Amino acid sequence: MSELSFKNSKVLVVGGAGFVGSNLCRALLAHELKELLIVDNLLSSDLSNVPADPEVRFIYGSIADDRVLASLPSDIDFVFHLACYHGNQSSIADPIADHENNTLTSLKLFEHLKSYAGLKKVVYAAAGCAVAEKTFDDAVATPEDAPISMFHDSPYSISKLIGEFYGNYYFTRHGLPFVKARFQNVYGPREILGAGRWRGTQHTVWRNVTPTFIWKSLQKEALPLDNGGNASRDFIFVEDMARGLMRCALAGTPGSVYNLASGAETTIRDLAEMINELTGNDTPLDLRPARDWDRSGKRFGSTDKSKRELGFSAKVSIREGLAKTIEWTLANRESIERCMRQHDYFMAHMR
Ligand SMILES: NC(=O)c1ccc[n+]([C@@H]2O[C@H](COP(=O)([O-])OP(=O)(O)OC[C@H]3O[C@@H](n4cnc5c(N)ncnc54)[C@H](O)[C@@H]3O)[C@@H](O)[C@H]2O)c1
């Protein structure tokens, strides 16, 4: 069978205004699509991330809303489901909002898509963190078939797994061409600090470690290192992630799961030192105790299966990716500040 192609296809990206989604949309637009539909309720994203392109139709709303689902054309070829309730700490603060935007979303979308006869692939953004072994000893690369714990540190993590379970069910029962992409830690341009609505904690503003460190480092602030920065993660540049997602759509086997990872382990301390070096920040690091909710320790993903079956490998080194992200942050300072400032009241009144 010849490989699938995006040319002249209708593609739906749910959560396409978000960090990864907006990068994916830009990568997809290079493929002569017929139409690119983006559904997003801007819960954790900014409208400025939606590409201004005649091929793009932006539908503002929740994918769990029946009116939004009913407005979708029935001849969609590819779906990327990237919507979530961002992120772990927000889900701990409001598990019901997490359910509505991270679990119900997947169920309603898959239930709606089950009757789409022409669908070629549905790619789901799964989370490597929900699967990785929790260890502070030496980590080993997490393979796709690693055992999954029944005990999780956040509703977010549970929701990401439920999305996999539902997708597997719709694949088995209804033949939905469902492929799971398990993400490691993505970083890069278009992750806008403070984007979207207040979600109950300061992590609405300080979304993830990389954009936070870059922002603080550019302000010459001390970078905070929980647990001395000895946890480790697998950082993958967002352009590599977009390529990996497209490989899942074109070459992924329905019912299968693929890690999208760099395969390299980087400690948070090394990340902080690299960022400070690139921005020229010589303020000493701020060493702190461990966060109470995070017991995940060290982890990184195995890249063997995605290399073998998708022909996918991450190409951008962490140093190169960080340099590009810093450059983007400097060029987009004003819009990032605008998004951060909208939460000033909540940040000031938080206990
Ligand atoms: N960024 C990472 O490191 C990482 C790691 C593991 C998994 N993931 C997964 O990848 C996906 C994208 O993550 P991201 O970092 O781009 O996050 P993001 O918050 O930037 O993107 C999520 C998008 O979903 C939208 N959304 C939320 N609820 C919605 C709803 N009910 N209907 C429609 N849209 C809705 C948000 O407004 C946002 O634009 C998520 O599913 C996330 O769980 C990301």
CATH of the domain at 78: 3.40.50.720
- For residue 43, the CA-to-ligand 1 centroid distance in Å is 9
| 136, pLDDT greater than 80 | no
- For residue 282, the CA-to-ligand 1 centroid distance in Å is 33
User: How many secondary structure helices (H) and strands (E) does the chain include?
Assistant: 13, 13
pLDDT of 140: 86
Pair of tokens at residue 105 = 């979303």
Total residue length of the chain = 351
Ligand 1: residue of 42, 65, 86 to mutate (most ligand atoms within 8 A of CB) is 86
Question: What does the mean pLDDT of the chain come to?
Answer: 95
Do the Cβ atoms of 302 and 295 come closer than 8 Å?
A: no
Structure confidence at residue 225 as a pLDDT band (50, 70, 90)? very high
| 292, pLDDT greater than 80 | no
- For residue 91, the CA-to-ligand 1 centroid distance in Å is 13
d(CA 347, CA 198): 9
CA-closest candidate to residue 62, choices 23, 34, 103: 103
- For residue 63, the CA-to-ligand 1 centroid distance in Å is 12
CA-closest candidate to residue 24, choices 40, 4, 3: 40
Cβ-in-10-Å burial (0-12, 13-18, 19+) of 147 comes to exposed
| 216, pLDDT greater than 90 | yes
Helical (H) or strand (E) element with 78: strand 78-81
Pair of tokens at residue 215 = 């922002």
- For residue 96, the CA-to-ligand 1 centroid distance in Å is 16
Do the Cβ atoms of 271 and 312 come closer than 8 Å?
A: no
**CA nearest ligand 1 atom 2, residue:** 186
Asked whether residue 44 is assigned to any structural domain, the reply reads: yes
| pTM of the predicted structure, to 2 decimals | 0.97
- For residue 276, the CA-to-ligand 1 centroid distance in Å is 28
Asked whether residue 198 is assigned to any structural domain, the reply reads: no
Asked whether residue 249 is assigned to any structural domain, the reply reads: yes
Pair of tokens at residue 209 = 């470690």
pLDDT of 289: 83
Do the Cβ atoms of 245 and 181 come closer than 8 Å?
A: yes
- For residue 157, the CA-to-ligand 1 centroid distance in Å is 13
In 94-184, at which residue ranges do the beta strands (DSSP E only) sit?
Answer: 121-127, 178-183
35 CB-side CA count, 13 A: 14
**CA nearest ligand 1 atom 13, residue:** 20
- For residue 137, the CA-to-ligand 1 centroid distance in Å is 30
Asked whether residue 327 is assigned to any structural domain, the reply reads: no
Using CB distances shorter than 6 Å, the residues near ligand 1 are 14-15, 17-21, 39-45, 62-64, 82-84, 86, 101, 105, 125, 127, 160, 183, 185-186, 196
Ligand 1: residue of 12, 13, 14, 20 to mutate (most ligand atoms within 8 A of CB) is 20
Asked whether residue 14 is assigned to any structural domain, the reply reads: yes
Task: Calculate mean pLDDT across residues 95-114.
Answer: 98
- Strands of the sheet with 121-127, listed across from one edge: 56-60, 35-40, 10-14, 78-81, 121-127, 178-183, 257-260
Residue 200 DSSP one-character state: S
How many other C-beta atoms lie within 10 A of the C-beta of residue 334?
A: 8
How many other C-beta atoms lie within 10 A of the C-beta of residue 202?
A: 11
Asked whether residue 350 is assigned to any structural domain, the reply reads: no
d(CA 68, CA 56): 16
| 188, pLDDT greater than 80 | yes
pLDDT of 351: 58
Structural domain count, the chain = 1
| 112, pLDDT greater than 90 | yes
CA-closest candidate to residue 119, choices 68, 166, 69, 80: 80
d(CA 6, CA 156): 31
CA-closest candidate to residue 297, choices 142, 86, 177: 142
**CA nearest ligand 1 atom 26, residue:** 83
Q: Strand pairing partners for 298?
A: 232
Structure confidence at residue 291 as a pLDDT band (50, 70, 90)? low
Tell me the CA distances in angstroms from 340 to 43, 185, 343, one per residue in order: 14, 22, 6
For every residue of 224-250, DSSP letters joined together read: EEEGGG--EE-EEEHHHHHHHHHHHHH
| 296, pLDDT greater than 70 | no
pLDDT in tens, 231-275: 999 999 999 999 999 999 999 999 999 999 999 999 999 999 999
Ligand 1: residue of 14, 19, 158 to mutate (most ligand atoms within 8 A of CB) is 19
d(CA 52, CA 89): 32
- The atom of ligand 1 lying closest to the CA of 163 is 41
The percentage of the chain sitting over the pLDDT mark of 70, rounded to a whole number, equals 98
| 115, pLDDT greater than 70 | yes
Asked whether residue 227 is assigned to any structural domain, the reply reads: no
Ligand 1: residue of 62, 67, 80, 84 to mutate (most ligand atoms within 8 A of CB) is 84
Q: Strand pairing partners for 10?
A: 35
**CA nearest ligand 1 atom 39, residue:** 18
pLDDT of 343: 97
Asked whether residue 132 is assigned to any structural domain, the reply reads: yes
- For residue 180, the CA-to-ligand 1 centroid distance in Å is 15
- The atom of ligand 1 lying closest to the CA of 81 is 41
Boundaries of domain holding 177: 10-193+234-264+295-317
